[in-house]
Amino acid sequence: MSNAFCIIPVGIDDDSILKAVHEAVNYFENDVERFDFVDIPTDAHNKARNQYRATSFLRIAEKGTGKKNIAITDVDIYASRVDFVFGQAFLNGKACVISTHRLNPQFYANDGGCNDGTDDASNYQMFIERVKKETIHEIGHTFGLHHCYDSGCVMSFSPGIEEVDAKGMDLCEKCSESLKSLF
Protein backbone atom coordinates (compact mmCIF):
# COMPACT_ATOMS: atom_id res chain seq x y z
CA MET A 1 0.00 0.00 0.00
CA SER A 2 1.26 3.40 -0.96
CA ASN A 3 1.42 6.20 1.60
CA ALA A 4 -0.02 8.58 -0.99
CA PHE A 5 -3.65 9.50 -1.59
CA CYS A 6 -4.91 8.07 -4.88
CA ILE A 7 -7.40 9.75 -7.19
CA ILE A 8 -9.35 7.29 -9.31
CA PRO A 9 -11.33 8.85 -12.18
CA VAL A 10 -14.39 6.68 -12.85
CA GLY A 11 -16.15 7.54 -16.08
CA ILE A 12 -14.74 11.07 -15.99
CA ASP A 13 -11.85 12.39 -18.02
CA ASP A 14 -11.92 16.12 -17.29
CA ASP A 15 -8.45 17.33 -16.37
CA SER A 16 -9.72 20.52 -14.71
CA ILE A 17 -11.94 18.53 -12.34
CA LEU A 18 -9.17 16.06 -11.57
CA LYS A 19 -6.84 18.99 -10.90
CA ALA A 20 -9.41 20.44 -8.45
CA VAL A 21 -9.61 17.12 -6.62
CA HIS A 22 -5.81 16.99 -6.52
CA GLU A 23 -5.71 20.50 -5.02
CA ALA A 24 -8.31 19.52 -2.41
CA VAL A 25 -6.33 16.42 -1.45
CA ASN A 26 -3.33 18.68 -0.86
CA TYR A 27 -5.32 20.15 2.04
CA PHE A 28 -4.20 17.06 3.95
CA GLU A 29 -0.54 17.67 3.03
CA ASN A 30 -0.03 14.29 1.46
CA ASP A 31 1.49 12.94 -1.73
CA VAL A 32 -1.07 12.38 -4.46
CA GLU A 33 -1.14 9.79 -7.23
CA ARG A 34 -3.61 9.58 -10.07
CA PHE A 35 -4.81 6.24 -11.35
CA ASP A 36 -5.77 5.58 -14.92
CA PHE A 37 -9.34 6.13 -16.05
CA VAL A 38 -11.76 3.40 -14.90
CA ASP A 39 -15.05 2.61 -16.63
CA ILE A 40 -18.29 2.95 -14.69
CA PRO A 41 -19.33 -0.52 -13.52
CA THR A 42 -22.31 -1.76 -15.53
CA ASP A 43 -24.03 -3.06 -12.40
CA ALA A 44 -23.89 0.38 -10.75
CA HIS A 45 -26.79 1.83 -12.74
CA ASN A 46 -30.28 1.65 -11.24
CA LYS A 47 -32.56 2.01 -14.25
CA ALA A 48 -35.66 2.72 -12.14
CA ARG A 49 -33.95 5.74 -10.55
CA ASN A 50 -31.72 6.62 -13.50
CA GLN A 51 -28.91 7.01 -10.97
CA TYR A 52 -25.86 5.06 -9.90
CA ARG A 53 -25.22 3.26 -6.61
CA ALA A 54 -22.53 5.05 -4.61
CA THR A 55 -21.45 1.71 -3.12
CA SER A 56 -20.30 0.52 -6.56
CA PHE A 57 -17.85 3.43 -6.71
CA LEU A 58 -16.75 2.84 -3.11
CA ARG A 59 -15.85 -0.74 -4.06
CA ILE A 60 -13.62 0.61 -6.84
CA ALA A 61 -11.98 3.05 -4.42
CA GLU A 62 -11.45 0.27 -1.86
CA LYS A 63 -9.28 -1.55 -4.37
CA GLY A 64 -6.96 1.45 -4.65
CA THR A 65 -3.44 1.11 -3.33
CA GLY A 66 -3.28 4.43 -1.51
CA LYS A 67 -3.59 5.32 2.14
CA LYS A 68 -6.81 7.05 1.06
CA ASN A 69 -8.50 6.44 -2.28
CA ILE A 70 -10.85 8.95 -3.87
CA ALA A 71 -13.11 7.83 -6.71
CA ILE A 72 -14.37 10.81 -8.71
CA THR A 73 -17.25 10.58 -11.17
CA ASP A 74 -19.65 12.86 -13.00
CA VAL A 75 -22.72 10.63 -12.84
CA ASP A 76 -25.61 11.10 -10.40
CA ILE A 77 -25.10 8.84 -7.36
CA TYR A 78 -27.33 7.83 -4.48
CA ALA A 79 -27.16 5.94 -1.22
CA SER A 80 -29.73 3.98 0.77
CA ARG A 81 -32.72 5.96 1.96
CA VAL A 82 -31.75 9.24 0.24
CA ASP A 83 -32.52 10.71 -3.17
CA PHE A 84 -28.91 11.58 -3.95
CA VAL A 85 -25.50 12.20 -2.42
CA PHE A 86 -22.69 14.53 -3.39
CA GLY A 87 -20.30 11.93 -2.05
CA GLN A 88 -19.95 9.05 0.34
CA ALA A 89 -17.13 7.58 2.41
CA PHE A 90 -16.30 4.72 4.70
CA LEU A 91 -15.89 6.28 8.15
CA ASN A 92 -12.34 5.54 9.35
CA GLY A 93 -11.79 3.73 6.06
CA LYS A 94 -9.63 4.28 3.04
CA ALA A 95 -12.29 4.84 0.37
CA CYS A 96 -14.60 7.64 -0.68
CA VAL A 97 -16.45 8.78 -3.78
CA ILE A 98 -17.34 12.26 -4.98
CA SER A 99 -19.87 12.95 -7.73
CA THR A 100 -19.65 16.23 -9.62
CA HIS A 101 -23.10 15.76 -11.17
CA ARG A 102 -25.15 17.82 -8.71
CA LEU A 103 -22.25 20.13 -7.86
CA ASN A 104 -22.34 21.56 -11.37
CA PRO A 105 -24.39 24.79 -11.63
CA GLN A 106 -25.70 23.54 -14.98
CA PHE A 107 -27.67 20.86 -13.10
CA TYR A 108 -29.78 23.63 -11.56
CA ALA A 109 -30.00 25.86 -14.65
CA ASN A 110 -33.40 24.60 -15.78
CA ASP A 111 -35.20 24.74 -12.44
CA GLY A 112 -34.48 28.35 -11.53
CA GLY A 113 -32.00 27.22 -8.88
CA CYS A 114 -28.40 28.25 -8.46
CA ASN A 115 -27.80 29.48 -11.99
CA ASP A 116 -28.64 33.10 -11.27
CA GLY A 117 -27.45 34.55 -14.54
CA THR A 118 -23.82 34.85 -13.50
CA ASP A 119 -21.31 34.38 -16.27
CA ASP A 120 -19.76 31.06 -17.24
CA ALA A 121 -16.47 31.89 -15.50
CA SER A 122 -18.28 32.54 -12.21
CA ASN A 123 -20.28 29.33 -12.55
CA TYR A 124 -17.13 27.38 -13.33
CA GLN A 125 -15.36 28.83 -10.28
CA MET A 126 -18.39 27.94 -8.12
CA PHE A 127 -18.33 24.41 -9.53
CA ILE A 128 -14.62 23.93 -8.79
CA GLU A 129 -15.07 25.28 -5.25
CA ARG A 130 -17.93 22.84 -4.63
CA VAL A 131 -15.83 19.92 -5.89
CA LYS A 132 -12.98 20.88 -3.56
CA LYS A 133 -15.29 21.25 -0.53
CA GLU A 134 -16.91 17.88 -1.05
CA THR A 135 -13.55 16.20 -1.64
CA ILE A 136 -12.19 17.56 1.65
CA HIS A 137 -15.46 16.62 3.37
CA GLU A 138 -15.41 12.99 2.21
CA ILE A 139 -11.71 12.53 2.96
CA GLY A 140 -12.47 13.93 6.42
CA HIS A 141 -14.91 11.06 6.93
CA THR A 142 -12.20 8.54 6.00
CA PHE A 143 -10.16 9.98 8.87
CA GLY A 144 -13.06 9.43 11.26
CA LEU A 145 -14.51 12.94 11.28
CA HIS A 146 -18.29 13.05 11.65
CA HIS A 147 -20.66 15.74 10.44
CA CYS A 148 -20.10 19.01 12.26
CA TYR A 149 -22.77 21.30 13.72
CA ASP A 150 -20.79 24.39 12.68
CA SER A 151 -22.46 25.35 9.38
CA GLY A 152 -19.26 27.09 8.25
CA CYS A 153 -17.13 23.97 8.68
CA VAL A 154 -16.37 21.90 5.60
CA MET A 155 -17.51 18.86 7.63
CA SER A 156 -21.03 20.24 8.07
CA PHE A 157 -23.81 18.11 6.58
CA SER A 158 -25.00 19.24 3.16
CA PRO A 159 -28.43 17.87 2.25
CA GLY A 160 -28.63 20.35 -0.64
CA ILE A 161 -26.47 22.56 -2.79
CA GLU A 162 -27.29 25.64 -0.70
CA GLU A 163 -25.48 24.09 2.28
CA VAL A 164 -22.47 23.24 0.12
CA ASP A 165 -22.29 26.85 -1.01
CA ALA A 166 -22.74 28.21 2.53
CA LYS A 167 -19.98 26.22 4.21
CA GLY A 168 -16.34 27.11 4.08
CA MET A 169 -13.40 25.28 2.57
CA ASP A 170 -11.72 24.61 5.92
CA LEU A 171 -12.26 22.56 9.05
CA CYS A 172 -13.52 24.44 12.09
CA GLU A 173 -11.26 24.58 15.14
CA LYS A 174 -12.93 21.57 16.79
CA CYS A 175 -12.70 19.36 13.69
CA SER A 176 -9.14 20.52 13.05
CA GLU A 177 -8.17 19.51 16.59
CA SER A 178 -9.91 16.15 16.15
CA LEU A 179 -7.96 15.53 12.95
CA LYS A 180 -4.65 16.50 14.58
CA SER A 181 -5.31 14.07 17.43
CA LEU A 182 -5.43 11.24 14.88
CA PHE A 183 -1.81 11.82 13.83
Concatenated DSSP letters for 95-144?
A: EEEEE-TTTSGGGGGGGTSS--S--HHHHHHHHHHHHHHHHHHHHHHHTT
- Break the chain down into helix, strand, coil percent, rounded to 5: 40, 20, 45
Contact 142, 179 (CB under 8 A): no
Catalytic residue numbers, as ranges: 138
Question: What is the identity of the amino acid at 172?
Answer: C
